[in-house]
Amino acid sequence: MLRAAKDAAEAADRAKGEFLAIMSHELRTPINGVLGFARLLRDSPLNDEQRGNLEMIEDSAQALEALISDILDLSKIEAGKFEVESSPFALRRCLEQVCQLLQPRAREAGLTLEARIATEVPAIVNGDQLRLRQILQNLIGNAIKFTERGGITLTVDCVRTETLPGDTRRAVRLQFAVSDTGIGIPPDKLALLFKPFSQVDTSARRRRGGTGLGLIIAKRLCEHMGGAISVESRPGEGSTFYFTIMVSYQPGDTKEPFAEGTPSETA
């Protein structure tokens, strides 16, 4: 009886995930149409009022695009249709690129953004670079959004290394911490953070954009990469989001693999 109920619930969950995935996919086409034509309109002669209205259309369409992309991501993960990549990449360069990407946003908000990477963190690791970037961009992006003054620090350490059985590679647990000096999160809201669509304060003042799906996606991605995510926070003082992932590396390997998408000059 219990078993049948559990199977039915799981099947319903899967059906819901698949429905969401198809829906979000179908929604992409019209939203791309709206964004594309809004861009074309931007280059035509417009008066100030029309330009203001066009900006509203673009802002709303971009917010909808972000929401669709997050729903698609989460539904793929929840429907079990998600696989973690494992290929070599230069970890430090990846972290630098994420910081470079977000640096202008931090500067614009008058905030500092620094990274401290422990020397024992391996140069080249095998893992899912794009998903790691996604988690970091979400956490650092949130830190910028919810910080008024001060700054954001990313620290990276290795927690544990072990030799993989029958292999010369080693498995290592990387620990990341994203700290900010922002508004913080009340203790009674901490448990809600990693639930879908949860936003601590949805009032106009604190609602600084976002879908409320970033942290649940980050949590699922960490779990798929053999790690976990947690948070410590003091209202008015700031927050630190910790997460871990497992990667492997070849001791002594410092040679950078080709950057993704970089065409080989000699080919």
Piece of 18-26, 92-100, 102-110, 204-212 that binds ligand ADP (CB under 6 A): 204-212
Q: How far is the CB of 210 from ligand ADP (least distance, A)?
A: 2
Q: Where are the alpha helices (DSSP H) in 110-254?
A: 129-145, 214-224
Cα–Cα distance for residue pair 63/72, rounded to 1 Å: 14
Binding of residue 102 to ligand ADP (CB under 6 A): no
Binding of residue 78 to ligand ADP (CB under 6 A): no
Q: How far is the CB of 173 from ligand ADP (least distance, A)?
A: 23
Number of amino acids touching ligand ADP (CB under 6 A): 19
Plot region of 212 (φ>0 → left; ψ -120 to 50 → alpha; else → beta): left
Cα–Cα distance for residue pair 109/265, rounded to 1 Å: 39
Nearest to 244 by CA among 142, 115, 144, 155: 155
Nearer Cβ to ligand ADP (88/238) = 238
Cα–Cα distance for residue pair 23/2, rounded to 1 Å: 31
Cα–Cα distance for residue pair 238/152, rounded to 1 Å: 10
Piece of 53-61, 129-137, 181-189, 244-252 that binds ligand ADP (CB under 6 A): 181-189
Binding of residue 176 to ligand ADP (CB under 6 A): no
Is residue 78 within 8 A of residue 17, CB to CB? The reply is yes
**Binder of ligand ADP out of 153, 239, 244, 248 (CB under 6 A):** 239
**Binder of ligand ADP out of 21, 113, 154, 183 (CB under 6 A):** 183
Q: Report the interface residues with ligand ADP, using CB under 6 A.
A: 138, 142-143, 146, 180, 182-183, 185, 193, 198-200, 210-215, 239
